[in-house]
Amino acid sequence: MYRAKRAEVISLQKEIDSLQKENDRYNKQINDLKTDPKTIEKEAREQLHYARPGEIVYVSPAPVNAEPSPTNSAQK
């Protein structure tokens, strides 16, 4: 019983540590988006397709579903 609980505690502590690191990354990203002009520009360019004057933004079309359509020859 003790060993099982001890293993559970260790496993939960590892999960807490991992989640805390992820939370720290998100907090840094939020802070950068509020204060860092380069990060703000990067997000605006990527998410909103913003461009500087004189730049051209190329947006690729969404991928087309490549399922073959049924034909009469396949039904014979």
- Is 60 a member of any domain? no
Q: Report which of 31, 54, 57 is spatially closest to residue 44, judged by C-alpha positions.
A: 57
Give CA separation, 24 vs 14, 47, 53, in Å. 15, 23, 35
- Is 66 a member of any domain? no
- Is 36 a member of any domain? yes
What are 50-75's pLDDT values in tens digits? Answer: 888 898 877 788 888 766 666 655 55
Angle (nearest 5°) at CA 45 between 33 and 27: 20
Residue 45, both tokens: 């360019």
**Domain with 42 in it:** 24-55
What is the Cα Rg of the chain in Å?
25
- Is 37 a member of any domain? yes
- Is 73 a member of any domain? no
Q: Based on the structure, what is the number of domains in the chain?
A: 1
User: What is the Cα–Cα distance from 28 to 34, expressed in whole angstroms?
Assistant: 10
pTM: 0.57
Q: How confident is the model at residue 9 (pLDDT cuts 50, 70, 90)?
A: very high
